[in-house]
Chain A
Amino acid sequence: MSQLSQNLAAGEFVVTAEVAPPKGIDLAPVLATAEKLQGVTAVNVTDNQGANMRLCALVLAGELRRRGIEPVLQLTCRDRNRVALQSDLLGAAALGIENVLLLSGDHSKFGDHPDARPVFDLDAVQLLDVVAGLNRGVDMAGKPLAGTPRFFPGAAVNPAAEPFELVLQKVRKKVDGGARFFQTQAVFTRVELERLAAAVAPLNVPVLAGVLLVRSAKMARFLNSSIPGMCVPDEVVARLEQAADPLLEGVAIARETVGWARTFCQGVHLMTLGHDETIPEILR
């Protein structure tokens, strides 16, 4: 059983962080970053994040695991069909990776290979079903596996998305499909988090609130214009704009979100994007 699943089952307030594989083949810097992370139960490894081609997430997750750092392997449906997804999942299981976060994935158009053919052979709900099958020892074709994986599958939800009732329809399907935890996209308002927590409470699946360190008003505007599903409210942009030290203000904003998460959620998922030294301050 993964530490993440145990800590969530025990009702602890769980902290996860996130690292991205390099554009290239040198793993040393990202491994050094991951080794320095403090107070974190597991570390997400992003999968060609934003549709930008990078080193295979599975390899970095395997290397983290070898160093005793627990990974959450993110797996998107954008770049692989059902054969490749199952194959990568078996590979992950063989490397001892249990936590997987199953995502649709940002559209190829946002990345550095916009002419790539987006796959989406499966969607995230279907991929959750596939993982449930693998955990029962069978693949999508119903063929038995030699050795049964023990995946702890998670899914994503965007608390800011409207119409929210529609978002919930999909959340319910994900829970029915076997999602055991949720990590949310970045949250910036208390009401959004409270609304999500209230809606998900009857489903009995822990939610880790996504906390993104926004370092400047410029970055906030970029997120709003260029990153799918991202919505940094005007008040937050204004705070960053007026701050003498925007990074410090960003940390303060993140800390407030962590505070709401302590009230409404079972943990936080921190996205500090290379400013991991701020994590202790965000969690303070």
Chain B
Amino acid sequence: MIISEAKPLAELQEVLAPFGRLFLVGCAACATACKAGGEEEVFRFQEWMAGQGKETTGSVIIDEACHIQRAARDLRHHAQAVAAADALVVLACGSGVQSISSNTDKRVIGALNSLFLGNVRRFGQYEEMCSLCGDCILNETAGICPVTNCAKGLLNGPCGGMKAGRCEIDGELDCAWRLIFERLQRQQRPGVFARRVPPKAWSRRRKPGRHKIR
């Protein structure tokens, strides 16, 4: 899922300063799961805004805020409350914010920072394991992604900063290449060490991404 977290309140205070009446949008999918933009957080945000002397004209938790048509429908259902607001505040990932902004010319304020595509270790603990690079090498790397788990995204082995099997940028972090190496050893196969992996085709990740199922 997409991991997001609340922006600092001071930042939101500043960006919301010109507006007195606001419509709130949350997301029932990822932002709810990581407790950044669900029912509870939207309610708390409303309370906080009231404390700032601002009025909430209404709110909605969209089933998946990244769904553009669904967002459009939900905004239509709340057309009056939306129309009464000076701006919309969206407690969802950047994708969700843009589903909303692509459906209205009103000012749309994102209240979260989107962090990464995260795996859930346990509740409240998320780990980035995939960078959506478009050119997957996992089959050669024993199911551990070096593009994501190596701080430098190296494709041919560890850098010179590996110390006792840990990463140079954080001594608590296992070197991804050590993990790959050890699992390949347990699987008794050379995997990615059998060849010099050529440079990645970053063209596969040309922005903005578009995908159409035929």
Taking Cβ atoms with an 8 Å cutoff, the residues of A that contact B are 77-78, 82, 103-107, 109-110, 118, 120-126, 129, 140, 156-158, 161-163, 165-167, 169-170, 173, 176-177, 185, 228-229, 231
Q: Among A104, A125, A167, A177, point to the contact of B152 (Cβ < 8 A).
A: A104
B153 at the interface (CB under 8 A from A): yes
Stretch at the interface among B30-38, B51-59, B159-167: B159-167
* Additional A-B contacts beyond A121-B202, A140-B199 (17; CB < 8 A): A104-B154, A105-B152, A107-B151, A118-B151, A120-B152, A123-B152, A125-B157, A129-B196, A156-B160, A157-B160, A161-B163, A166-B178, A169-B181, A185-B160, A228-B163, A229-B162, A231-B163
B158 at the interface (CB under 8 A from A): yes
> In angstroms, how far is the closest chain B Cβ from the Cβ of A83?
11
Offer 9 A-B interface pairs, CB within 8 angstroms, sorted by A: A82-B199, A104-B154, A120-B152, A157-B160, A162-B165, A167-B158, A169-B157, A169-B181, A228-B160
> In angstroms, how far is the closest chain A Cβ from the Cβ of B154?
4
Is there an interface contact between B159 and A104, defined as CB atoms closer than 8 Å? yes
Taking Cβ atoms with an 8 Å cutoff, the residues of B that contact A are 151-165, 168-169, 177-178, 181, 193, 196-200, 202
Residues on B with beta carbons closer than 8 Å to the beta carbon of A169: 157, 181, 193
Is there an interface contact between B161 and A229, defined as CB atoms closer than 8 Å? yes
Is there an interface contact between A107 and B163, defined as CB atoms closer than 8 Å? no
Give Cα A125 to B158, complex, Å.
11
> In angstroms, how far is the closest chain B Cβ from the Cβ of A128?
9
Residues on B with beta carbons closer than 8 Å to the beta carbon of A121: 199-200, 202
> In angstroms, how far is the closest chain B Cβ from the Cβ of A168?
10
Is there an interface contact between B160 and A123, defined as CB atoms closer than 8 Å? no
Known: A107-B151, A107-B152. A125 touches B160 (CB 8 A): no
> In angstroms, how far is the closest chain B Cβ from the Cβ of A267?
19
Residues on A with beta carbons closer than 8 Å to the beta carbon of B200: 121
Give Cα A158 to B162, complex, Å.
9
Task: Name the residue on A nearest B152 (C-beta).
Answer: A120
Give Cα A158 to B175, complex, Å.
15
> In angstroms, how far is the closest chain B Cβ from the Cβ of A134?
14
Residues on A with beta carbons closer than 8 Å to the beta carbon of B159: 104, 124, 228-229
Give Cα A107 to B153, complex, Å.
11
Is there an interface contact between B156 and A123, defined as CB atoms closer than 8 Å? yes
Residues on B with beta carbons closer than 8 Å to the beta carbon of A107: 151-152, 161, 168-169
Residues on A with beta carbons closer than 8 Å to the beta carbon of B155: 123, 125-126
Give Cα A147 to B177, complex, Å.
38
Is there an interface contact between B198 and A126, defined as CB atoms closer than 8 Å? yes
Give Cα A77 to B151, complex, Å.
13
The 3 A-B residue pairs whose C-beta atoms are closest, nearest first, are A228-B161, A170-B157, A228-B168
Is there an interface contact between A161 and B151, defined as CB atoms closer than 8 Å? no
Is there an interface contact between B168 and A173, defined as CB atoms closer than 8 Å? no
Residues on A with beta carbons closer than 8 Å to the beta carbon of B193: 169, 173
Q: Among A105, A106, A118, A125, point to the contact of B196 (Cβ < 8 A).
A: A125
Is there an interface contact between A163 and B157, defined as CB atoms closer than 8 Å? no
Residues on A with beta carbons closer than 8 Å to the beta carbon of B202: 121
Give Cα A157 to B158, complex, Å.
10
Interface centre among B154, B181, B193, B197 (most CB of A within 10 A): B154
Known: A104-B152, A126-B155, A126-B198. A158 touches B165 (CB 8 A): no
Give Cα A176 to B202, complex, Å.
24
Is there an interface contact between A126 and B181, defined as CB atoms closer than 8 Å? no
Give Cα A177 to B197, complex, Å.
11
> In angstroms, how far is the closest chain A Cβ from the Cβ of B113?
15
Residues on A with beta carbons closer than 8 Å to the beta carbon of B178: 163, 166
